[in-house]
Amino acid sequence: FWHALTRDRRFAGHGFKRQIPVGAHITDIVSVPLRLVIELVPPDEAAPAIAARAERRAWLTERDYRVVDVAMIEVEADVGKVLDRLAAVCATSPSVS
């Protein structure tokens, strides 16, 4: 997914980085300029991971980050469709000066 995202020119210049800390949380993928976090959700996620994801989402949204969940099953089925959805989200995300 990371390679597809970074090779798609629609996402160039948005400062996407993977697995970096935002506060006390490690995000899967983040664009600080867009205040956008992409969470990759595995199909067999355990209850503790689901709870941690909910806590992380709450913390991030309190700090004006938008959080988009991307099911890995969707990526495997049609990564292009997932990228189209993310491009639409990026187009509506406010930039921070």
Q: Which two tokens stand for residue 63?
A: 């700090």
Over pLDDT 90: what percentage of the chain?
91
Burial class (CB in 10 A: 0-12, 13-18, 19+), 36: buried
Residue 93 has a pLDDT of 54
Query: Can you tell me the mean pLDDT for 60-67?
Result: 95
pLDDT per position as a tens digit, 14-42:
999 999 999 999 999 999 999 999 999 99
Phi first, then psi: give them for residue 52, nearest 5 degrees. Answer: -65, -40
Cα 18–38–77 angle (5° rounding)? 105
Confidence of residue 95 (pLDDT cuts 50, 70, 90): low
- Within the chain, where are the H helices? 2-7, 47-62, 72-92
Residue 97 has a pLDDT of 39
